[in-house]
Amino acid sequence: MRESFLHFIWQFQKFNNLSLTTCGGQSVQIYAVGSYNTDAGPDFLNAKLSIGDVTWYGHVELHLKSSDWNRHRHQHDEAYNNVILHVVWEHDEEVQMANAQVLPVLELQSRIKPELLKRCNQLIKSPEKIPCATQIGQVKDIDKLSMLEQVGVMRLKQKSEHILNLLEKNNGDWEEAAYQLLAKNFGFKTNDEPFLKLAQSLNHKTVIKHAEKLDQVEALIFGMAGFLQAANEGYGLTLSKEFDYLSKKYSLDDLGLKKVEWKFLRLRPGNFPTVRLAQFSSFLAKNVKCFDRFIHFTNNKELRNMFDFEVSPYWQKHYDFGKEGSRLAKTIGKASIDLILINSVAPLLAAYAQYTDEGSYMDKAVDLLQDLVPERNHITNSWQELGLKAKNAFDSQALIGLRNDFCLKKKCLSCKIGVSLINS
């Protein structure tokens, strides 16, 4: 028995509600179960029900045992004084609220069909990473699509929380926060943390002062990244001398990274952090301020034009200092651009929507994702094998969120797909 099962039972009224009475013998009539509360406080807010001859408006709290009320110390919390009904699986102890009023209790264990609990446990206890893998074909398409839409928006909001945290750390400077987010996503998972650390140690305002000279931008980026510490010849030495001057000018000594912090293992030369740093430098040199353009673009072509740049001549022939390579790309690839739009621009729009309380930016984020091709990875492939194929990037993001935030955490009772199967 899980408390989440009780939440499901109460929310969808999946119990025998004929002749309901409290454990004290008073009749109960339910008019509104209340809204499920995911924050601190009682489980369901603003319910309406009658107990005896009195109609009550207030909150409902659920526990496996009524004694859990005291174990969770609700009896000392005035936030629970507006609870009008305590719904439990088993009533084992009479409890009181902070104001010493005895709390009416509704016990459910004798009112629930055993088959319902069995179906729930079969789903939640499944050893599969996707618990409903063998049953999902029974679910109506409308329930699947509705869940994907919910999770897609939820994932955007989750990502926007990270951006709002960056914004707070940067004292409300959206340009600086966007620069740090963009840097993180130029790292493409393997090097996202050192990229973010780099952007946090080298502020955007310093970089854009030198945007007209790409070699100076590269000197700042590669110098702070730790790649110029041992440079003693060629282009590396040129950048090293430039960085020595700039680091003294801006007091950057001891703020940078060490070369050892960057990961090269199992990466193709075209994905080496040195190549990504060169691409990031060229992007910054072309786009002095990008946040406003990210937020107010009118079509996807405008966004893609921001990535229409070429790396400096040296990086068109080298994948590391002193190491030449053949068939190296002069610019960033389309697939990489799509990932940056998915993980940087769309979440920025979502964060700005929350910050300004303007829903049109969230709509714009969703529209952008729906215009991009879906991601292909082991998660989306596993869903496709089960008949759920992503049509666009919004779908693929939703499928990733569904697996990570619901399936792996066995939150089937909070998932419309899981609820549909348990109800069937």
Question: Contact at 8 Å (CB) between 116 and 123?
Answer: no
What CA–CA distance (Å, rounded) separates 229 from 337? 30
Predicted TM-score of the model (pTM): 0.85
- Secondary structure, 3-state, 108-165: CCCCCCHHHHHHHHHHHCCCCCCCCCCCHHHCCHHHHHHHHHHHHHHHHHHHHHHHHH
Give yes or no for a contact between 181 and 163, defined as CB atoms under 8 angstroms apart: yes
Tokens encoding 7: 């939440």
CA 319 to chain centre: 33
pLDDT of residue 379: 96
Closest CA to 147 of 418, 423, 421, 422: 418
pLDDT, position 297: 94
Give the type of residue at 397. Q
Which structure tokens are listed for 284? 């910054």
pLDDT tens across the length of the chain (424 residues): 788 899 999 999 999 989 999 999 999 999 999 999 988 899 999 999 999 999 999 999 999 999 999 999 999 998 899 999 999 999 999 999 888 889 999 999 999 988 898 989 889 888 899 999 999 999 999 999 999 999 999 999 999 999 999 999 999 999 999 999 999 999 999 999 999 999 999 999 999 999 999 999 999 999 999 999 888 789 999 999 999 999 999 999 888 999 999 999 989 999 999 999 999 999 999 999 899 999 999 999 999 999 999 999 999 999 999 999 888 889 999 999 999 999 999 999 999 999 999 999 999 999 999 999 999 999 999 999 999 999 999 999 999 999 999 999 999 999 999 999 998 7
Q: How far is CA 290 from the centre of its chain?
A: 23
Count, residues in the chain: 424
Q: Which residue has the tokens 């409903």?
A: 132
pLDDT confidence of residue 191: 97
pLDDT at 229: 87
String of DSSP letters for 393-413: HHHHHHHHHHIIIIITTT-GG
What are 417's two structure tokens?
A: 């797909």
Joined tokens for residue 60: 């409902």
Measured in whole angstroms, how far is the alpha carbon of residue 174 from the centre of its chain? Answer: 19
Distances (CA, A) of 65 to 107, 117, 310: 9, 17, 65
